[in-house]
């Protein structure tokens, strides 16, 4: 903790045996010894917090394997062996308020320790003279180092949660990780409208954007930030905007007015759009698509699940409005880690996306059963039916369809019209 906060001086660390030893302490009963931290400059009985925890799991030989093989004759014997065992270490840590004892943050982490040994031996006879040899290799990871690593990572996570900083960068994670999304979403839900307004103003000002004092509108500054970070330029402090401000991987750029959408280089050319798919997990994949039309237009997107059922993803109750600018890629759904999400039960070749862009309103082009209820299975609708309806919508229509051929395959555009 001392090394982590030496430069920023965000936290002040002290050792304490009782509340009496804290500056401005109110006395009270004895307090168990431990490390006391608080926001700088000095801890008090009203601001100090303590980190404490315990090893909750220390299981050796959770899983073991042994392989032995040998071959020989009456005079020669050869053999090889391999032994492996796995141990699990678990640590629960809490960050609690010194005065009240209230637990403010908690983390629970585990680490797997693997030990491996290999060996080979031989006994043989050459012209009546016997000889033997043996060789072994051991790879052992100490449990003590695992405990130390768990403590350091857990303390880092607790301090990051308390300070609301992007501590996940230290774990080589990015904002698209579902656990990170849940953490950011939790912070977002805890903020009142006034707190969110103050946080966004402060962060934008730190990044160099021209932010007027409250209660003046900061929509131009937010829109510029959103454009610089490839977000929908709504000018509102949305969850995606808050997540980008928290994450710290920001492109500040020169502050300025919100740029207008650029016209297409050749407005008479056929419309086109790009659809990219991102998998945010492996065991239970969460899918998100990014739609980028080549010019301003109305966009509609559908999802086909592993059973072949078709759902309308966009527009939806969570992302109303069909019009998308050409200067930003729109993520669908807007949030991962909170509703709605795209989570296939099985990643088969049926899973896919079909999106289209046009100048006219799609509700007037698609049949009623294809428009249906958003984020719900549409009865009797297939990608073939949708594609034909989109093509019949007129010449100024761009269509993109993507799917994944196999669980180990890559996402690829299988159809681009025109």
Q: Is 4 helix (H, G, I), strand (E, B) or coil?
A: helix
Task: Render pLDDT for 191-232 as a digit per residue (tens, 0 to 9).
Answer: 888 888 888 888 888 777 888 888 788 888 888 888 887 777
Position 260 pLDDT exceeds 60? no
Over the Cα atoms of the chain, what is R_g?
30
Q: How confident is the model at residue 142 (pLDDT cuts 50, 70, 90)?
A: low
Q: What local confidence, expressed as pLDDT, does residue 133 receive?
A: 62
Q: What local confidence, expressed as pLDDT, does residue 312 receive?
A: 92
Q: Averaged over 261-268, what is the pLDDT?
A: 51
pTM of the predicted model as reported, rounded to 2 decimal places: 0.45
Place of tokens 């010449």: 395
Mean residue pLDDT across the chain: 74
41 or 169: which leads in pLDDT: 169
Q: How confident is the model at residue 331 (pLDDT cuts 50, 70, 90)?
A: confident
Task: Render pLDDT for 370-384 as a digit per residue (tens, 0 to 9).
Answer: 888 888 899 989 999
Task: Render pLDDT for 5-61 as a digit per residue (tens, 0 to 9).
Answer: 666 666 777 665 444 444 444 444 444 444 555 544 444 555 678 888 888 887 766
**Is 332 exposed, middle or buried (CB count within 10 Å of its CB: 0-12, 13-18, 19+)?**
buried
Position 257 pLDDT exceeds 70? no
Q: How confident is the model at residue 256 (pLDDT cuts 50, 70, 90)?
A: very low
**Is 127 exposed, middle or buried (CB count within 10 Å of its CB: 0-12, 13-18, 19+)?**
exposed
Place of tokens 């710290």: 248
Q: What local confidence, expressed as pLDDT, does residue 281 receive?
A: 56
Angle (nearest 5°) at CA 160 between 156 and 162? 120
- Please tell me the distance from the alpha carbon of residue 400 to that of residue 220, in angstroms, as a whole number: 33
- Please tell me the distance from the alpha carbon of residue 222 to that of residue 216, in angstroms, as a whole number: 13
Task: Render pLDDT for 303-316 as a digit per residue (tens, 0 to 9).
Answer: 999 889 999 999 88
Bond prior to 315 in cis (omega within 30° of 0) = yes
- With a pLDDT cut of 90, the percent of the chain lying above it is 6
Q: Averaged over 108-137, what is the pLDDT?
A: 66
Contact (Cβ atoms closer than 8 angstroms) between residue 137 and residue 117: yes
Write the secondary structure of 54-94 as one string of H (helix), E (strand) and C (coil). EEEEEEEEEEEEEEEEEEECCCCEEEEEEEEEEEEEEEEEE
């Amino acid at each position: 903790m001392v090394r982590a906060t030496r430069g920023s001086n965000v936290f002040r660390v002290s050792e304490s045996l009782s509340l009496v030893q804290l500056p401005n302490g109110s006395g009270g009963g004895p307090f168990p010894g431990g490390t006391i931290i608080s926001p700088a400059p000095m801890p008090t009985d009203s601001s100090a917090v303590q980190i404490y925890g315990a090893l909750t799991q220390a299981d050796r030989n959770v899983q073991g394997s042994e392989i032995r093989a040998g071959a020989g004759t009456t005079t020669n014997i050869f053999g090889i062996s391999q032994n492996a065992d796995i141990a699990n270490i678990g640590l629960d840590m809490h960050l609690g308020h010194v005065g009240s004892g209230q637990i403010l943050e908690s983390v629970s982490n585990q680490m797997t320790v693997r030990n491996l040994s290999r060996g080979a031996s031989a006994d043989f006879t050459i012209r009546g003279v016997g000889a033997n040899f043996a060789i072994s290799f051991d790879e052992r990871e100490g449990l003590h180092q695992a405990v130390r690593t768990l403590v350091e990572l857990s303390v880092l996570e607790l301090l990051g949660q308390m300070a609301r900083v992007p501590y996940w960068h230290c774990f080589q994670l990015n904002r698209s990780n579902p656990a990170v999304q849940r953490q950011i979403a939790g912070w977002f839900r805890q903020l009142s409208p006034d707190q969110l307004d103050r946080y966004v103003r402060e962060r934008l000002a730190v990044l160099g954007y021209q932010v007027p004092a409250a209660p003046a509108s900061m929509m131009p500054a937010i829109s510029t930030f959103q454009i610089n970070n490839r977000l929908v330029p709504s000018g509102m402090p949305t969850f995606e905007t808050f997540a980008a401000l928290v994450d710290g991987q920001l492109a500040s750029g020169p502050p300025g007015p919100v740029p207008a959408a650029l016209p297409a280089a050749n407005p008479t050319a056929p419309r086109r759009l790009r659809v990219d798919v991102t998998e945010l997990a492996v065991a239970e994949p969460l899918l998100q698509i990014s739609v980028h039309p080549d010019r301003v237009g109305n966009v509609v997107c559908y999802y086909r699940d592993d059973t072949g059922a078709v759902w309308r993803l966009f527009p939806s109750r969570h992302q109303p409005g069909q019009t998308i600018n050409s200067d930003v890629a729109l993520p669908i759904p807007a949030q991962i880690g909170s509703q709605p999400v795209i989570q296939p039960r099985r990643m088969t070749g049926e899973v896919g996306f079909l999106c289209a862009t046009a100048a006219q309103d799609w509700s007037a082009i698609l049949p009623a059963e294809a428009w249906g209820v958003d984020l719900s299975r549409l009865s009797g609708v297939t990608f073939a039916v949708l594609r034909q309806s989109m093509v019949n919508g007129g010449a100024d229509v761009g269509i993109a369809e993507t799917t994944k051929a196999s669980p180990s395959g890559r996402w690829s555009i299988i159809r681009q019209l025109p």
